[in-house]
Amino acid sequence: MSGKYLVTGGAGYVGSVVAQHLLEAGHKVVVLDNLSTGFREGVPAGASFIEGDIRDADEWLDASFDAVLHFAAFSQVGESVVKPEKYWENNVGGTMALMAAMRETGVRRLVFSSTAAAYGEPVNTPITETDPTAPTSPYGASKLAVDHMITGEAAAHGLAAVSLRYFNVAGAYGRCGERHDPESHLIPLVLQVAQGRREAISVFGDDYPTPDGTCVRDYIHVADLAEAHLLALDAARPGEHLICNLGNGNGFSVREVIETVRKVTGHPIPEVAAPRRGGDPAILVAAAATARERLGWNPSRADLAGIVADAWEFAQHIAKEQ
């Protein structure tokens, strides 16, 4: 059955890909985005667009919406350490306003973009949803605070909610892809070297207890991630807050990513050794059994070369437009 969905942050990377998937599934999509880090041209054709802030969500939300998919947030870990107030204000304050508007209008279904950063330094590998949450940055803490807020909202007011804890989102979906500024994610940064926009890629630490000494991360294709959001809309149950990790469960090291970019782009990609960064765990890999069991999620794009190839195509397309 087709629905009508409010997608906050739908001019950004993940939100635009999910909006595109919703449209392809025959749903109506209204994107609410203040363009603080997103791009007007990132909003998929076919979606209605409101340039506005989640803190004013009550101006646009009404009972005709079936659910909210909430991506709007600031998400730069490093910036959150030096400007924590910016993260509490937008990520937590903004979500409080959104939740109040949902309560007032009776929109009782929510899918929220949570993050692996909610766990902090892992105590187990792979990480499960019942592992301890001890975020190491205000960004991770702000997202975890929203998860707690949603748990209370579901218990007290019957919200049907799913939080999806993404690991490292990567790749692109047609004209929707990653273009953060500044960029902090490894794959787009290495692709910038291939494009001649950056001289070399810094490798932060090569003496971690991993097979090649560099950090290992769980890269998940943004289209696989988008499919989980559509499944989560169906799986959400009134009064329940379901939390699911989203990852492939097998990690790739920084060196493996760089080598894959070399193969995909044909560029030599010079590396520069740099000291470890504080707060970078050696290995971050998801146990995603809950998403498979509860959502029926079955990611099909785990191949790193395919993820990089899609991101590369998008990066070249954006470069041509600029």
Considering the complex, state which of residue 15 and residue 126 has its C-beta at the smaller distance from ligand NAD.
Answer: 15
Residue 142 lies near ligand NAD (rule: CB under 6 A): no
- Give residues 57-76 in contact with ligand NAD (rule: CB under 6 A): 71-73, 75
Residue 115 is a binding residue for ligand NAD (CB under 6 A): yes
Closer CB to ligand NAD, residue 9 or residue 135? Answer: 9
How far apart are the C-alpha atoms of 147 and 142, rounded to whole Å?
9
Using CB under 6 A, pick the residue from 6, 22, 27, 33 that binds ligand NAD.
Answer: 33
Which of 6, 14, 67, 264 contacts ligand NAD by CB under 6 A? 14
Among 18, 20, 27, 34, which residue interacts with ligand NAD (rule: CB under 6 A)? 34
Nearer to ligand NAD, 266 or 279 (CB): 279
Q: In what order do the strands lie in the sheet with 241-246?
A: 48-51, 28-33, 4-8, 67-70, 109-115, 160-166, 241-246
- Per-residue b/e over 209-225, b at no fewer than 16 CB within 10 Å? ebeeebbbbbbbbbbbb
Helix, strand, coil percentages in the chain from 3-state DSSP, rounded to 5: 40, 20, 40
Residue 111 in the binding site for ligand NAD (CB under 6 A): no
Please state, in angstroms and rounded to a whole number, the distance separating the CA atoms of residues 44 and 240: 31
- Measured torsion, CA atoms of residues 27, 308, 165, 116, in degrees rounded to the nearest 10: -160
Active-site annotation holder among 5, 13, 87, 139: 139
State yes or no: is 139 an active-site residue: yes
Examine residue 9 and tell whether it contacts ligand NAD (CB under 6 A).
Answer: yes
Q: Rounded to 5 degrees, what angle do the CA atoms 190, 192, 198 make?
A: 100
Please list every residue from 157 through 176 that binds ligand NAD, using CB under 6 A. 166, 168-169
User: Residue from 2, 24, 36, 130 that binds ligand NAD (CB under 6 A)?
Assistant: 36
For residues 258 and 201, is the Cβ–Cβ distance under 8 A? Answer: yes
Piece of the chain touching ligand NAD by CB under 6 A; list 19-27, 34-42, 257-265, 285-293: 34-42
Cβ 214 to ligand NAD shortest distance, Å: 19
Neighbours of 175 (CB within 10 A): 16
Q: Residue 273 has what DSSP assignment?
A: E
Of residues 86, 141, 151, the one with CA closest to residue 117: 141
What is 3-20 written as a DSSP string? -EEEEETTTSHHHHHHHH
Whole-number minimum distance, CB 1 to ligand NAD, in Å?
26
How many Cβ atoms sit within 10 Å of the Cβ of residue 62?
Answer: 14
The one segment of 12-20, 235-243, 251-259, 262-270 that binds ligand NAD by CB under 6 A: 12-20
Q: Which residues form the catalytic set? A: 139
Q: Which residues bind ligand NAD (CB under 6 A)?
A: 8-9, 11-15, 32-38, 53-54, 71-73, 75, 90, 94, 113, 115, 166, 168-169, 180
